[in-house]
Structure 1
Amino acid sequence: MPRFSVPILALCLFAVTFAVNLQAPLYPAYVATSGLGATAATLAFAAYVAGLMPTLIFLGGLSDRIGRKVPLVCALLLSGGATLLLALSPGWVQLVIARVLLGAGTALATTSGTAYMTELMGEPRAKPAALVVTSATSLGFGGGALATGLSLMAQGPSFAPASFRLLLLAVPLLVLSCLALPRAWVPRRVSMLRLPVFPAGSAPYGIAIGLSWASTGMTIAVVPLLLDRQGLGAWSGPVIFLALFVGFLCQPLARRMSNPRALRLGLCLIPLGFAGLLAGAALQSIPLILLGTGLTSASSYGFTYLSALSEVSMLAPENRARATAGLFVYAYCGFSVPVIAAGGLADRIGVVPAMAVFFGVQLACLAGLVIAQRARQVRQVGTTHSGMTSGSSA
């Protein structure tokens, strides 16, 4: 079993995140039953964060107390339960409930899974362990949407596509496999409710991942509605897959770079990606939408994601699960809040104008982050120079 421990854990993380966007190509169909327009899609999208954020905040370090496997098993069962609910009883209300369950499952899996992967691979391999986690979750987040999109193309309209059945068959097998994984953690006598930690120096990485994931949130929640209204709904699955898969392809390159350098490249790609996405939406151009989505993905799930997860993991080796929870608090605030606001705005002024407003706010936040970082570097240089001068005088 030890030889297969890392692949099995990666498969468990893949399955949990695979379920998250499994229903994304069906958003327009679910929304059509609600009569709420774009607001319905963003509310369902927000329900995911409503399940995820409390779990991150209050249970992000739970695995330090009860072990890594129980949270992972719970995450798998929540993902399977949410998918079964939508397969048996499709509807917008059920979508909201399912998204809450999926959010809780994702929070449990990513916090315990990141710490567990490092423990299985060994502390000296913390960065490769982060790469395995980001690769498995990036493929999962994008693979679910693609699988459903392809299933719908092959079998026609359905609220229970083959992709749903595939996950439901896999969950029991993965639960049994997870339970058979070796115990690699040392139990700690800590509180059951453990708040996230935010290590010193992690804020730029947290803010950057929040800004980049905001673009991905818009891609997943709003772009399918836009494509459906333009008669291009069949492209929803491939677009969402691309929004995450390109990032996966960039992760080996990001691994060879220092975390600060990978972060800088990720920040440069954020405005380029969303500018392409916005232009494609305005011109109804699939090539531009795909180009913008790919650039956004390179930042969100490539350079920014890996550098942030790796840096935070190394900044807090004694509190890795709670530090990961803290990072994902940043990430999912960016992933959800702008999307909810844009969804409400889209029903008033239209989807493309709402995306333009989002882009303006995103540019302002990026500029603020860059200015703050440069000011911090200047202060550090000044402090170092002052210290050296004082030493020379002495």
Structure 2
Amino acid sequence: MVFPRPVAFLVAGATGAATLTAASAPSPLYPVYQRLFGFSAFTLTLVFAVYVGALLVALLTVGSLSDRIGRRPVASGAMVLLALGMLLFVVAGGTGGLIVARVVQGFAVGAATGTVTAMILDAAKDPRRGSIVSSAVPSLGITIGAVLAGALVEFAPFPRQLVFWVLAAAYLLLAVLVWWIPERTRPASTDQGPLWRALLPSAALPSVVRPAFLALVPSIVATWALSGLSLSLGSSVIGTLLGVHSHFVVGLVLGAFFVAGTIGGAVSTILPPSTRQWFGYGTLAGGVVVMLVAVMATALPIYVVGSAIAGLGFGSTFQYAVTTLGAAAPQDQRGQVFATMYIVSYAAFSVPALAAGLATAAVGLEPTVLAYGAFVVVLVLVAVIAGPRTRRSPAAR
């Protein structure tokens, strides 16, 4: 038995959103962990960064495995591993326990990310619908994680554990449901060599995809670097620089960026193709500038507005990248293409944030945030220069 295509598409989308929920669920808890376990801002970003390190290892090893053995076993195994990661958060009693939980969680997300993105596109009725959902689920999932965790920490019993119990149960359910998503038809005649070779660390792109991919790298780095700052030091920025002390409000402010990202991805699809990039780049850079002004003025409402504008840019820019790469990638290599895309994405998600943690200890939080924002704006300008090559590529059209 398999699900009808609409149900399969819904389950695949829910799995994609749930996967990224794990990324943000600990974020409202970081200040709590920091006070409870007594670690520094650098250690906080290290806890964040080891997650991405494990995620990149997974993308480099099992990221394209679903192209060989099918989407379902990889997705199901990743959901079970995510559930284990959530349980490790429940029992974490110090910095070491948090790091172990983040490593397990990161590997699980890395195993799932490219696979579930390809699964969504495989289950979609048409490529446009698949690209909309696959580009929207990261921001949607991150929003759910931040707001859910903030609400449960602020208002529910067992504030450090309940959110992880809830997510563990959801992942175990999804681990079962993905087995009823129809598998794509794989060419039987393709000789890809022994299966173990697929597990060797690798990151590769079909030659037809490379020009568009290289032109998109600056915009991918800009969007994910900004989201990395939000989920690592974002709680500290909102609490320390903007004076917010409610965990729920912190979760809402973090969520504003990613809710807007979901909206931005949807809005981008109804714009004329010639304006999609400019809408994304303009709102991304403009929103970051507004956020920086808000930090300097200690103005929370302006910061929320800037986050929402930047979020529109995050969603629309990433949606454009997914659409372009999905159109260019051969179907039997989509897992590999999206795994490579997420390698770049998550490297941008973690490395600048880790550098920001070091800089915070050296020069302070506010100068670090201002410099980080300027870095993102510069990347957007580089993306604008690279943009004409993307528009000339067949995938972009």
Q: Which residue of 2 aligns with 1:139?
A: 140
Matched, 1:66 2:69: yes
The 5 A counterparts of 1:1-394 are 1-2=3-4, 3-121=6-124, 125-155=126-156, 158-161=159-162, 163-186=163-186, 189-190=191-192, 191-193=197-199, 195-197=203-205, 199-229=210-240, 231-234=243-246, 235-257=249-271, 261-300=275-314, 302-318=315-331, 319-373=333-387
Alpha-carbon distance between aligned partners in 2 of 1:167 and 1:36, rounded to the nearest angstrom: 26
Residue 192 of structure 1 aligns to a residue whose secondary structure is helix
The answer for unaligned runs of 5 or more in structure 1 is 381-394
| CA positional deviation for 1:229 | 2.9
Alpha-carbon distance between aligned partners in 2 of 1:137 and 1:218, rounded to the nearest angstrom: 16
Alpha-carbon distance between aligned partners in 1 of 2:289 and 2:184, rounded to the nearest angstrom: 45
The answer for unaligned runs of 5 or more in structure 2 is 393-397
| RMSD (CA atoms) | 2.3
One-letter amino acid matched to 2:203: L
TM-score, normalisation: structure 1: 0.88
One-letter amino acid matched to 1:117: I
Go from structure 1 to structure 2 and tell me whether the alpha carbon gap of 1:47 and 1:349 turns closer, same or farther (over 3 Å shift): same
Deviations 1:316-366 (A, max 9, x none): 124211111222222222211211111111111111101112223333333
8 A contact 1:9–1:178 mirrored in 2: yes
TM-score, normalisation: structure 2: 0.87
Alpha-carbon distance between aligned partners in 1 of 2:121 and 2:26, rounded to the nearest angstrom: 31
Considering only CA atoms, is the larger Rg found in Structure 1 or Structure 2?
1
Alpha-carbon distance between aligned partners in 2 of 1:291 and 1:210, rounded to the nearest angstrom: 22
| CA positional deviation for 1:89 | 2.2
Alpha-carbon distance between aligned partners in 2 of 1:166 and 1:323, rounded to the nearest angstrom: 32
| CA positional deviation for 1:44 | 1.3
Moved more, 319-328 or 98-107: 98-107
Residue 184 of structure 1 aligns to a residue whose secondary structure is coil
Q: Which residue of 2 aligns with 1:386?
A: none
Alpha-carbon distance between aligned partners in 2 of 1:351 and 1:338, rounded to the nearest angstrom: 14
Identity of aligned residues (%): 24
Go from structure 1 to structure 2 and tell me whether the alpha carbon gap of 1:173 and 1:156 turns closer, same or farther (over 3 Å shift): closer
| CA positional deviation for 1:54 | 1.9
| CA positional deviation for 1:56 | 1.7
Q: How many residues align?
A: 374
Q: Which residue of 1 aligns with 2:395?
A: none
